[in-house]
Amino acid sequence: MGRLFGTDGVRGLANRDVTAELALDLSVAAAHVLGDTGAFEGHRPLAVVGRDSRASGEFLQAAVVAGLASAGVDVVLVGVLPTPGVAYLTDVLGADIGVMLSASHNPMPDNGIKFFSRGGHKLDDAIEDAIEQRLDEPWDRPTGADVGRVRLDLEAGVRYEDHLLGTLPHRLDGLSIVVDCANGAASSIAADVYTRAGASVTTIHAEPDGLNINEGCGSTHLDDLIAAVRAHGADAGIAHDGDADRCLAVDADGNVVDGDHILAIIAMAMSRRGELAGNTVVATVMANLGFMIAMRKAGIAVVETGVGDRYVLEAMRAGGFVLGGEQSGHVVMSEFATTGDGILTALHMLAEVAESGQTLGELAARITKLPQVLINVKGVDRQALDGSAAVLDAVAEAEAELGEDGRVLLRPSGTEPVIRVMVEAATHDQAQSIADRLAAVVSASLAVG
């Protein structure tokens, strides 16, 4: 059996892979492990629990609450709220555990469970492994007044909104924006936050019904946002994913502004204001070479990490850096958040548009990106990737062909059962050709069964 936790918690098909029984058992094990680390010492333990808008989040939330309360942990329910909102509230409420039920950008049938420790930080691998090892172990159950109590915090969303607005370096007055909420966790607060920041706001896909999250909308499906920005003559469009821990953007002409562009815009703004610690930004190995070149020209150093915002966070903490992110739109601003926050990111990107007097398209044009092709190869043995001579030979041949004008990256996904083949090259046709060739080799060499 493989490791239960991926790069971003436990994730899979709800009620098949991620079941009520698993949610309950994980919550009990998390309570025991975090209790053993001394998190509960001297006080009654407290947890914050939130979810995105998926229908399955309703029964999974009930299971998580049952597990925590049965283990003697008091629970504060904050309802449908972005993942970074749950992390923030875990910190400000002094909670020992935070739990977010979400599969982020994945399709509606999926769901996931993310844990936060005291302070709103994602768990490190060792603690996740300890939780997994203690699943289904015998334990002494509290009784009477020692069982956990459960309450609903109706002001949680407003408290999170106030925090976001308190971080703004410049108001958004005069900007008109369209926001795609992916029928997810952003639907309840995004319009209010951007409006309070001074923008004129039009929302789309902000009517979640439990079944329509991420369905043809949000940060993985930008067509509707592009059309709406053009139709409304807006200055920009913002697309969130299901749990609003990321954002992508669209400029006034409908051009996509991805995570590399957004990270660069914010990095250069912070560097100009003297707020970028070490004049350094943290990015993953998936960052486009064009991003690296733009940062070098701006005098900003780049530290590279593996894919996943948890690894970006680890590098930021280790180096004392305050900004990092991913091409997918996860951006971490550690002065204000312990994890990626899509609304926070968009606010700061739009603040630079408003303050600089330049359009979003003009700011994004500072980064000239190399064509990049990403292919997800399914039905392969992910464990055999590193030991395949055929794959290694194919990669070496591709790298020799690209030289200094491109690169190749093969890696197993941390959230899906696929191997990602990424190629950057001087032209899109070359990148596509090499990526297709590599994907075929991976598929043939590592085929399951």
Of residues 216, 206, 286, 270, the one with CA closest to residue 244: 206
CB atoms near residue 320 (< 10 Å):
10
Q: Whole-angstrom Cα distance, residue 199 to residue 176?
A: 6
Cβ partners under 8 Å of residue 85, min gap 6: 50, 78, 156, 157, 160, 185, 189, 244
Residue 381, burial from CB neighbour count under 10 angstroms (0-12, 13-18, 19+):
middle
What are phi and psi for residue 316, nearest 5 degrees?
Answer: -65, -45
Q: Whole-angstrom Cα distance, residue 95 to residue 69?
A: 14
Of residues 8, 84, 3, the one with CA closest to residue 48: 84
Q: Whole-angstrom Cα distance, residue 118 to residue 29?
A: 16
b/e burial code for range 131-151 (CB count within 10 A of at least 16 → b): bbebeeeeeeeeeeeeebebe
Q: Whole-angstrom Cα distance, residue 318 to residue 316?
A: 6
Give the catalytic positions in this structure. 104
The amino acid present at 406, given as its one-letter code, is G
Residue the block writes with tokens 């069964």: 449
- Using an 8 Å Cβ cutoff, are 104 and 242 in contact? yes
Cβ partners under 8 Å of residue 102, min gap 6: 51, 52, 54, 57, 83, 111, 112, 114, 185, 242, 243
Q: Which residues pair with 447 in a beta bridge?
A: 380
Q: Whole-angstrom Cα distance, residue 79 to residue 153?
A: 8
CB atoms near residue 21 (< 10 Å):
11
What are phi and psi for residue 132, nearest 5 degrees?
Answer: -60, -40
Give the sign of the dihedral formed by CA 356, CA 344, CA 227, CA 374.
positive
